[in-house]
Every structure is written in C-alpha cells, then in structure tokens.
Structure 1
Amino acid sequence: MAVTLKDIARECGVSYSTVSKALKDSPLVTDATKRIIKEKAEEMNYIPNNSARSLVSNRSNTIGLIWPAVDRVAITTLASQINQALKKEGYFMVISIEDPITAAQKFLELRFDGVIIFDEGEHTTLPTKITKNIPVVAYGVERELDYPTINVNHDLAMKQAIDALISQGYQQIDYIGDIHTNDMRQIVKKDTFISHCQERNISYRMIHSGGLSEEGASRAIKAFLVNDKLNGGIICGSYDITRGLLHNLKDNVNAHTIFSYDNIDQFKSIDTPIYSVGVPSHIIAQNLVDVLLNAIKTNQVNRSIIQLKPKIRYQ
C-alpha cells in the first residue's frame, strides 16, 4: 500500500496539516519539526501524489512534447535542449512519438500544463477541442493555426547557403535531401532551393536522400555515386544526411564545399570542415519554452508566428 500523509502524521505524532506544510517547506513549521517529518517520510518511502496536488492547484508542472522521432541527432538535440529550458523553469517534460492527436488528448486528460508539437502539416494539426483546453505551441513553418508557431525560416536558410556557394564561385550545386515527403519543413527547403537556383541562374540537381536518417542517406548517396559524381558545391537537408554523405566522400571530401541545414554543436565533432545553416537549436528551444510558458501564465490563446533568423556557421 502507498504511504500517505496521514501515515506519516501518525508515526510522527503530529497533525496531517503539519505534515503537509512541512513537506512543502512552509515557514509555519519549525525547522526541527520539518527535519523529523522529512526523515520519517524518507524512511517510509513516501512518494508525493502529484495528481492529487494538480487537482487542487490546477497545475501539474508537466509539459508534453509531441515529436516525430527520437532516432535523428538534430531532433534529439532539440528535444534535449527544450527539456533543459523547461527544467530551469521548474517543469518536467514527457515526450511522445504517438499520433499527435492521440498524444495531445492524453496529455490533456493527464492535466499537463501545456503541449509543444513538431508541426509537419495537416496530419499534425491539433483540433480546436484540444487547443481550447490546453496551451499549445508549434515548431513549424508559417501557416495559419489556432496556436502560436515558431518559424525558423527554412527558406531564408536555403537562400543563404546558395548565395554563399555562389560567392565562392560555384555555378553547379547539388541538393541532397528528403525529396519525396509530406513534411512541410523539407518541402520548403526543397522548393526554395529550386526557385532560388533558378532565380540566380545556377545549374542544380536534386538527389533524394531516402529519408532523413544517416543510414538511409548513406545508402542513397552510395547508389547515386555508382553512375555519377557529385558537384563541388553541396547543400544537405539535415545533419544526419550530411553524416550519410561523409561516409561516401572519404578521401575526396576536400573537393567539395558542404553546407548543411541544422545549426547544432555536433558539427564540431566532425573532422571535415562544414558550413551549417539555420537557427541555433538552443535558441529554438528557448523560444518554444518562453512562448508556451507565457501562454500558460496568461491563459490567453494567440495565433502569432514568431520569426527566427537563421545563421551560417563554419564548423
């Protein structure tokens, strides 16, 4: 049987109210009494009933994160940084890779304080019946939603990478990315790459990475290189795709200038000099947390789109 506050009160010879106050560090209880009660609670293996507390305070201090996967470096890096930012604010984070609507509904039933969602398109759009009852913020692209969105401007990042390669003298550029996808982020990267190359009169090719994983990209690029060669200027759609590319370049890597989407610190561990482009992941994480906690605090629904500016970093 679970140990209750009444059990601790009985063992300590004090009232239920005194135990409750002591475990909350109330100044109404002396330090000596607090110490006795806390030691007894530890001895009896007492576990606080946070569900009961949340019913009283209407706060669980728990945030739900709905994420597409946990097998990609950039995604797990951002999730970890969101967790760190929430932890500093006294929140606990729970991550789900379940269907977004199912996950959000469960978070709502469990009385979580808010939800952060990785917005990929219509299949990840949360319905009004959920968003009216729990604060939500999305990491996505600019589109109309019933909740705020952090937009990292993937289109501007692609333009920055293309212009940087042109400034280095490249007139032929390859894009390696997830070409066949419904993920709006990847679609924006792909479409912007094509339109901006056409606008700048640059010759380009689109090479399908076979998805967003390092292993899939490595296989796809290996198959491409059987019958063809890569151009000197290359833009990769993600950190993991870049890792897949490097498996295949080996001694020929210095013949290429590589730009990669995802501005994360893991690039520093790669021996090959690479330009990364995008909003630094810790800035994305902090903005997601700040916007969500403000919504929780004010209890106001807004549809704002927070624009973040990408940067190029030479790793």
Structure 2
Amino acid sequence: MNVTIKDIAKEAGVSYSTVSKALNDSPLVKEVTKRKILRVAEDMGYEPNLAAKQLVRKKTEVIGLIWPTIERIVLASLVSNISKAFESTPYSMILSVEDVDTATDTFKKFQVDGMIVFEESNDDPVDNDSIPMIAYGVSSTDHRSYPIIDANHEAAMQQAVEYLYRLGHKSIVYVGHIDTNDSLQKEKVEGYQKAMTNTGLSNHVQSIDTEGLGWFDGYYAVEQLLQQENPPTAIIGGSYDISGGILRALREKGISIPHDMSLISYDNIPQMATMEMPMTCIGVPVDELAEEIVHGIIEHIESNQPDAFIKKLSPTLTERQTCGPA
C-alpha cells in the first residue's frame, strides 16, 4: 500500500498542509518540525508522486538530448559531460539517437521542459516551435528562433595556423571532411583558409578531403598527402578520430613526429593525452562546452523572455608532443 501525505500527517501529528510544505522544503515550516516530518516520511517508506507534482508545477525538470551518432568518441565524450553537468542542477536528461523529427515527437510525449540538438548534418534551422531548444552549432546569417552555442571553429583554426607559423611552418595542410553538409566541418575548412590568408600564407593553402570523420578516413588520406611533390611540414587534422588515423599512418611509413612533420588536431578532449603519442590539440575543452550547453538550455527555459542568443566560446590550444619546429 502506498504511503500518502495524509498518512504522514496522521503519524506526525501535524496538518496535511504542513507535511506538504515540509516535503517541498518550505521556509514556512520550522526546522525541528520539518526534520520530524522527513524522518517519519522516511520511516514509512514514502515515495513522492512525481506525476502529480509535475501537474501542479507544470514542469517535468527533464531535458531531451538528440545524439546524432554513437560512433564518434568526441560526441560520446561531450554527451557524457553534458549528463554530468546536469547532476548539479534540478534537471535530468533523457537521450534519443533518432532523427530530429522523431526525437521531437518522443520528447513531446514525455513533456520535456527543453531540448538539446547537435546541428551537424543539416544547414537548415530545426523546425520546432513547441519545446524550448538550444543547439550546438555554428553562427549563421540564417534566422534561428533558438539559441546556439558556437565552439568558434574559425578562431580555433586561426590559433592552430598561427601556432604552427610561429614554429616556422609555412606549408600547412588541412585534412578533414570537406565535401559535406555538416556546417561544423565546413566552418573548420573555411576557418583554415581564412587563417592562412590572414597569416600571409595564402599561396600555401592546401586541403585534403577525408570524405568522412572516422579513424580510417584519416589513415587513408595520408597516402594522398605523401604523393605530393612537396609534402607539407605540418598537418591540421579535422577531428580526434581523423587525427588518430593520420598519426598511425605517418608512423607506419617511418615519418618521425614532430621531427619530420608536425600534427595538431581539432577537438579538445582528455583522450588526446592518451593517444599513441599525446596529441597537441585545439578547441573548446569538452567539459567547458558541456557546461555552457547545460547552462544555456536551463537559462532559456527559466527566462521570462527567452531570446535566440548566440554564444561564441573561446578555443584553447593544448600543447603536447606532436608539434615541433619546421
């Protein structure tokens, strides 16, 4: 038999309303009374009716997250950090690996308070006008009716090029997924091209399309890179997985890193430090990115006048063992 608030009130010798206030941590109930009621509730095995509580408050304190793929380590790390960031808030997170439309319909059934989306595979704004939403994506001239957390790929590429240039490198190639609808990947290569021009290296702009974001995509791109008459002295890898493949292929071919060739990777996750060579990397640290996404969606939900803001973050360059003088 379920224990009710009335049962607790009878056992504790107080009114029904006093129990209700105590269980909701109301300051209107004296601390000694509140402790007594909580002790009685625990002894009786009381479990709150969350559904009823949600009806009263008109909030579920649940946020839905749409995960675009379970195959990439960086996104897995980001989702794990987002889940961890929610632990210090009143909110919980549920996860969907379905497409945006299907996931949105599912979240509506769960009556989530908000939704987090990764804008990777579609340049078009997400069509959703019923659930407060925030996106991890890029700033755009297109109108967005929801906030965007932008990891500032352009600034990351500028820092990477300038760092390599200070080490004496001029022949710097970008290796990543180029021919794609993924706006995040497109901004990386565009940021690289702009950075090379800004640094006075416009004559050395050179990109290789991996045609994917996986480890083997980076691995096989090295063959094309080394067939060039004048191979570059430095490489910017477009992602953690791509750079891992590049690193393995170069070492198999007897190319010493960083003595023969330097390698810096986009993405800034702890796993960079435990690769077969600790990888120099550029990007917003994944824990910081997760905190900003969680803070942004909660702010968007709880604001009386939520705005479609854009927040650009500041990338961090982490030096390790894969970059050296030209």
Q: Across the two proteins, how many residue pairs are aligned to each other?
A: 304
Distance of 2:192 and 2:226 partners within structure 1: 25
Instruction: Kindly report which structure 2 residues correspond to 1:130-145, keeping only aligned pairs within 5 A, or say none.
Output: 130-131=128-129, 133-143=130-140, 144-145=143-144
* Distance in 2 separating the partners of 1:18 and 1:247: 66
Residue in 1 that maps onto 2:148: 149
TM-score (norm 1): 0.83
SS at match of 1:35: helix
Structure 1 partner of 2:309: 304
Pairing of 1:42-191 with structure 2 (within 5 A): 48-120=48-120, 122=122, 125-127=125-127, 130-131=128-129, 133-143=130-140, 144-191=143-190
1:27-38 aligned within 5 A? 27=29, 31=35, 34-38=38-42
Q: Which amino acid aligns with 1:231?
A: P
**Structure 2 equivalent of residue 241 of structure 1:** 242
CA drift at 1:187: 0.7
SS at match of 2:98: coil
Structure 2 residues not aligned, in runs of 5+: 321-326
CA contact (8 A) 1:22 1:37 kept: no
CA RMSD of aligned residues (A): 3.0
Offset, 1:31: 4.3
> SS of 2:173's equivalent?
strand
Task: Name structure 1 gaps, 5 residues minimum.
Answer: none
Q: Can you list the C-alpha shifts for 1:193-234, whole angstroms capped at 9, x where unaligned?
A: 23443562342432232411224433x236547856953200
Aligned mates of 2:316, 2:180 — CA distance in 1: 25
Alignment-mate amino acid for residue 57 of structure 1: R
Conserved in 1, the CA contact under 8 Å of 2:273 and 2:279?
Answer: no
Q: How far 1:124 sits from its partner (Å)? A: 6.3
Contact 1:5 1:19 (8 Å CA) reproduced: no
Q: Which residue of 1 aligns with 2:323?
A: none
Contact 1:8–1:41, Cα closer than 8 Å, also in 2? no
Would you say the 8 A contact 1:65–1:117 is kept in 2? yes
Offset at residue 235 of structure 1 (A): 0.4
AA aligned opposite 1:67 = W
Task: From 241, 255, 262, give the equivalent of 1:257.
Answer: 262
Q: Structure 1 residues 217, 80: CA separation in 2 closer, same or farther (over 3 Å shift)? A: same
Q: For residues 106 and 208 of structure 1, what CA distance do their matches in structure 2 show?
A: 36
Distance 2:34 2:184 in 1: 56
TM-score (norm 2): 0.80
Aligned CA distance change for structure 1 residues 121 and 303 (closer, same or farther; 3 Å): farther
CA contact (8 A) 1:217 1:241 kept: yes
Cα gap change, 1:208 to 1:106, in 2 (>3 Å): same
| Structure 2 residue identity aligned to 1:146 | S
Q: How far 1:55 sits from its partner (Å)?
A: 1.6
**3-state SS in 1 of match to 2:85:** helix
> In the TM superposition, what is the alpha-carbon distance from 1:171 to its structure 2 partner?
2.3
Task: Encode CA deviations 1:228-247: one digit per residue, 9 max, x unaligned.
Answer: 69532000011111111122
Q: Read off the aligned partner of 2:206 and give its amino acid letter.
A: R
Q: Is residue 119–residue 139 contact of structure 1 (8 Å, CA) maintained in 2?
A: yes
Distance in 2, Cα, partners of 1:78 & 1:246: 23
Kindly indicate whether the alpha-carbon contact (under 8 Å) linking 1:177 and 1:241 is maintained by their aligned counterparts in 2.
Answer: yes
The structure that is helix-richer by fraction is 1
Deviation at 1:177, TM superposition (A): 0.8
Percent sequence identity is 33
- Contact kept, 8 Å, 1:157 with 1:278, in 2: the verdict is yes
Distance 1:142 1:121 in 2: 15
Q: Displacement of 1:113 after TM fit?
A: 1.4
Question: Residues 59 and 253 of structure 1: is their aligned pair in 2 closer, same or farther, counting only changes over 3 Å?
Answer: farther
